[in-house]
Amino acid sequence: MNALNITKGSSSNSAYNLRSGHEDVIERHTLAVLVANEPGVLARVIGLFSGRGYNIESLTVAEVDHAGHTSRITIVTTGTPQIIEQIKAQLGRIIPVYDVHDLTVEGPSVERELSLFKVSGKGEKRVEALRLADVFRANVVDSTLDSFTFEVVGSPEKIDAFGELMRPLGLSEMARTGVAALSRG
Amino acid sequence: MTQTMSGAKMVVQALIDQGVDTVFGYPGGAVLPIYDEIFQQNSIRHFLVRHEQGAVHAAEGYARSTGKPGVVLVTSGPGATNAVTGLTDALMDSIPIVVLTGQVPTFMIGSDAFQEADTVGITRPCTKHNWLVKDTNELAATLHTAFHVATAGRPGPVLVDIPKDVQFADGTYEGPAKMKSHYQPQVKGDLDAITQLVEAMETAKKPIFYTGGGVINSGPVASQLLRELVAATNFPITSTLMGLGSYPAKGDNWLGMLGMHGLYEANMAMHDCDLMINIGARFDDRITGRLDAFSPDSIKAHIDIDKSSINKVIRVDIPIVGDVAHVLEDILKVWKARGRKTNSEGVKEWWSEIDAWRKIRCLDYKPGTKTIKPQYALERLEALTKDHDRYITTEVGQHQMWAAQYLGFNDPNRWMTSGGLGTMGYGFPASIGVQVAHPDSLVINVAGEASWLMNMQEMGTAMQYGLPVKQFILNNERLGMVRQWQELLHGERYSQSWSESLPDFVKLAEAFGAKGILCSDPADLDDAIIEMLAYDGPVIFDCLVEKHENCFPMIPSGKAHNEMLLGDFAMKGAIDATGSVLV
């Protein structure tokens, strides 16, 4: 008996295939998560994202209130509006999480990221790198006879743009902190 | 109360102060100081299980049948890892349990010491919260917070990992009164949303209550208020597997369980309704079937204490975050204040539609003359035990679905089953936990032979404590649900789904000193069940049933509610089979 008229060996009727084909547009949100700075709290947040298949574009964390042992985790994530709502609700139910703010929808906010670029080169390329660094208001934080290390602070887009410009000029290494963000006003 | 004592003594003192009188556990090197304290007191009774998974399921049974948190004490390493399945089970079904694990001394953590495991790391995703306590002075506060977190809001399992040196060291004990936690979930629902729901209830032509385990977790008051609301509005009500008993099965408005193996009338009503009121359920995939065809024309309201349950799977129109009892109380208040209105004409017509679906008699089956049909076994079990003070647990599979279909639950906390995780091996240890909590009640575990074997070692526990749990095994010598899916979905290729080399269950019972009963003839069944009930002690009832019976109705996965498969026999009683029923 094959009452369902399903081709033998077919797995297309798996229970895990129930999601509708309807896809919403993917949005990018910056979340600020205030947490008790207790052992394992970052693992809980990261474990939530990996366990439920959410995306992390960047994540920064540091204690912001030493007396109150409170840390601020800034997460940049992407997903459909429904997934973003889920992420916020799921974060909110982690016990050491005090508060979750969606900076993308709660009015204007500023986002800044710090980055370091090591650019090796000689002659014209070296001069050009220094000139562009000036345009981007990058600081030279280390220098040798054949390399510069620049520090660039700004929006993720500005840092992306600086990296693209440095690539042909001898970019050899870069490091980024991820986004820190605050609401305006 | 503030006093100095060892960490081990603090554990016992904290349990006493939390009102705990029962612990399920298994000793080992890293919890010996706590076991030494347990030896020297009489306030807490410790039940020695035979495997740590059994301890957690027993605690779940205890918790689910009493409404109090269940407590487990196990050792480090394998003790903790063996508890993981039970923790995951409790997390999925929102059961409040507190698991205490021993850990190697703090100065050895990270050295791959004997019986060391990263317990908080391993159990982080399968607990509501967990803690590693590194300082004896923080132990008492952590334990009190653990009980608070396990029971507040949406209940769940928590774990406290206690290194052995923390157990030995002295520290300051503080009682639960000093416990402070920022974790204070919202229990009152938003009044605007509640009013919106009441407005929808006043005009709905085809309303339905769809209730779940949240009603039971909310406590007996929630079940009382639910019954009042159903009686006052005359709306039909269905429930998930986890919610059975919150509304009585003998109640007039009861449609039976819904979902993959739910009743025809319940699923059809869910599909065709114009107002769905979800109370403490979570739109699980076993309930919804195909999402884009799920109840297409209804306004959906969802009451849940966990915000993350709302809009997770199904987008709802009226979300209400709050505790079921609090929200139901407000719904009743608002509804009464607005004049107790319903669209009674529409609802009356709705009931006549439902009555037509009921005439399908979807649970009818072809009786066996020589072999016992599993449905018949449960019908007889129901008939012979329904007037008892009865608690039912189950394992997982066909027998579980038949138990949900053929047994009637008229009160909350009487039905313990592994719903979310579907843990084979849950039912037997759970029945032990239930019996511990209710020593004078009848506790029956409806089991399949394959599930039952997964935690059969707990026979030793049942015997040691004289717990008269009845193991009612529907033995079809198959992994019945796996076999059913292989028949319907995998071309009848029965890959590894038979139970080879089964024990003689009667001899097995006798080997433990319990009673074994074998029954294979329908004519003997009643007498055999009566014999089981009369025996004062654990019984293994080996009920040999039809080997190839399928569990119907069935919504095949990937299908909609109105595309149910019915058994051959059910259709015979149909007057007119409306809806696109696949046979």
Point out the residue among B310, B491, B558 whose CB comes nearest to the CB of A18.
B558
Point out the residue among B149, B290, B315 whose CB comes nearest to the CB of A18.
B290
Minimum distance, in Å, between the CA of residue B69 and any CA atom of chain A: 18
The pLDDT value given to residue B245: 98
The reply to whether residue B582 touches residue A47, judged by beta carbons under 8 angstroms, is: no
CB B256 within 8 A of CB B221: no
pLDDT one-digit tens code per residue, B255-314 = 999 999 999 999 999 999 999 999 999 999 999 988 889 999 999 999 999 999 999 999
Rounded-to-integer distance, Cα B350 and Cα B275, Å: 12
SS3 of residue B422 by DSSP: coil
B180 at the A interface (CB within 8 A)?
Answer: no
Residues 120 through 139 of chain A touching chain B, CB cutoff 8 Å: none
pLDDT for residue A13 is more than 70: no
The pLDDT value given to residue B569: 75
The reply to whether residue A4 touches residue B124, judged by beta carbons under 8 angstroms, is: no
Q: How high is the ipTM of this complex?
A: 0.91
A50 at the B interface (CB within 8 A)?
Answer: no
Which parts of chain B register pLDDT below 70? 1, 571-583
Predicted confidence band of residue A23 (pLDDT cuts 50, 70, 90): low
SS (H, E, C) chain A: CCCCCCCCCCCCCCHHHCCCCCCCCCEEEEEEEEEECCCCHHHHHHHHHHHCCCCCCEEEEEEEECCCCEEEEEEEEEECHHHHHHHHHHHHCCCCEEEEEECCCCCCEEEEEEEEEEEECCHHHHHHHHHHHHHCCCEEEEEECCEEEEEEEECHHHHHHHHHHHHHHCEEEEEECCCEEEECC
The pLDDT value given to residue A17: 44
pLDDT for residue A10 is more than 90: no
Decide if B114 is catalytic.
Answer: yes
Residues of chain B with Cβ-Cβ distance to A68 below 8 Å are none
Q: What is this structure's pTM?
A: 0.93
Point out the residue among A3, A21, A44 whose CB comes nearest to the CB of B124.
A44
Minimum distance, in Å, between the CA of residue A13 and any CA atom of chain B: 6
Point out the residue among A20, A40, A51 whose CB comes nearest to the CB of B291.
A20
The pLDDT value given to residue B571: 56
The reply to whether residue A93 touches residue B491, judged by beta carbons under 8 angstroms, is: no
Rounded-to-integer distance, Cα B281 and Cα B243, Å: 8
Decide if B115 is catalytic.
Answer: yes
Decide if B470 is catalytic.
Answer: no
The pLDDT value given to residue B1: 62
From B1, B3, B41, B114, the catalytic residue: B114
| Cβ-based neighbours of B440, under 8 Å, separated by 6 or more | B389
From B5, B37, B52, B563, the catalytic residue: B52
Across chain A, what does the average pLDDT equal?
89
Decide if B52 is catalytic.
Answer: yes
